Amino acid sequence: MRKKRKELLLALVLLLLTGWMVNFISDVFRPAQTTYGATWRAFRGEPEDSLDVICLGSSFAYCDFNPSLIYDASGLTGYVMAGGEQPLSITYWYLKEIFRTQSPSAVVLEGTSLYFKQYQNYTQQNVSQMPFSVNKLGAIFTASEPELRSGLLFDLSLYHSRWRELGWNDLKKAVRPAERDYYKGYTPIDQVLDGVGESVVEGGRTVSEEDYAANLAWLDKILSLCRAHDAQPIITFNPSYTRCTREQYDRNTADILALDDGVLVYNWTDSFEEIGLTPTMHLYDGSHLNQDGAAIFSAWLGRYLTGEVGLTPRPQTEENAAAWAESVLWWQNYLKD
């Protein structure tokens, strides 16, 4: 009997060691994600319970919200935890994972995700970068394409072909503790495409009624999660020249408020003049702001969140306040150069 116990204990130890080794090697092979969404490593470098505002969504979030410049205008700390073309199903699991380490006063969700299909183009990137947890498993089994699930469970199989590209930075990334950065989930784009901002395109987004209903169901779960954690849910439609029709936005607002009448819903798609944006200068394409547009919008949003919404910055440690001031200075120099 004692021998059997020893054998079982040894088998368990070997299993745990094998799992740890596979996870470590996966961390080495998994490409670093510093911009264009799913920037979980830098997010985990933020001090626990230090963030006032979490911004969620797709590229319409990570191209438009610059947390450092929101902070400069308002004192509100924040992070953009978004993903390319990210459906609301994955966003729900992102938010659950975020609440493990942060307790934001508000959650800002860019609402264009209501027009995404069940599966979009970047599931592998958006889910594989999540820390291994129950929430990652939730994203794999409820929000990822069935054919991707085995690879996402053992994502070494997705990235093993990178062995020729590996360098010391990949090893250091797996060994060192997570470190925050100046981007804080934001992605700057220094460009204006030809002809952008000259005319509005309306009715450019459609989705099946089945997908729309499914998206509302996931949104309901997101809003319930916000309420359970005392975070004010805010849904925005950001400045854009590629828009839904007015009737679509009216329907979106009514459907959102039917889920929770305490949600703040803002349609800023045509608020360029109010915000101080010039479409031909501050849009990258019809849908996303460039870095100069995002700087103006983020500063305006910071003032709006404290002035109109009434959010109050939480006290920060001296060290964290200095880190945010350093991030603000870095962005001011970056945009100046």
Question: Residue 123 domain-assigned?
Answer: yes
Look at residue 283 and tell me if it is in a domain. yes
Q: At 101, which amino acid appears?
A: T
Domain with 302 in it: what CATH number? Answer: 3.40.50.1110
| Residue partners of 319: CB distance under 8 A and separation at least 6 | none
- Is residue 133 assigned to a domain? yes
What is the amino acid identity at position 30?
R
Tell me how many domains the chain contains.
1
Burial class (CB in 10 A: 0-12, 13-18, 19+), 27: middle
Cβ-proximal residues to 150 (8 Å cutoff; 6+ apart), any chain: 157
CA R_g for the chain: 21
Q: Which residue stretches of the chain have pLDDT < 70?
A: 1-4, 6-7, 11-30, 156-157, 160-164, 166-177
In a domain, 101, yes or no: yes
Give Cβ neighbours of residue 195 (< 8 Å, ≥ 6 apart): none
Which two three-digit tokens encode residue 92?
A: 């729900």
| Structural domain for 109, as ranges | 34-147+179-336
The answer to whether position 19 is within a domain reads no
Nearest to 85 by CA among 255, 215, 181: 215
Q: How far is CA 120 from CA 91, 151, 244, 323, in A?
A: 13, 17, 19, 36
| Model confidence pLDDT, tens digit, residues 228-264 | 999 999 999 999 999 999 999 999 999 999 999 999 9
Q: Are 123 and 89 in contact (CB under 8 A)?
A: no
What single DSSP character describes residue 37?
A: B
Is the separation of the CB atoms in 275 and 300 below 8 Å?
yes
232-237 and 106-110 strand pairing: parallel
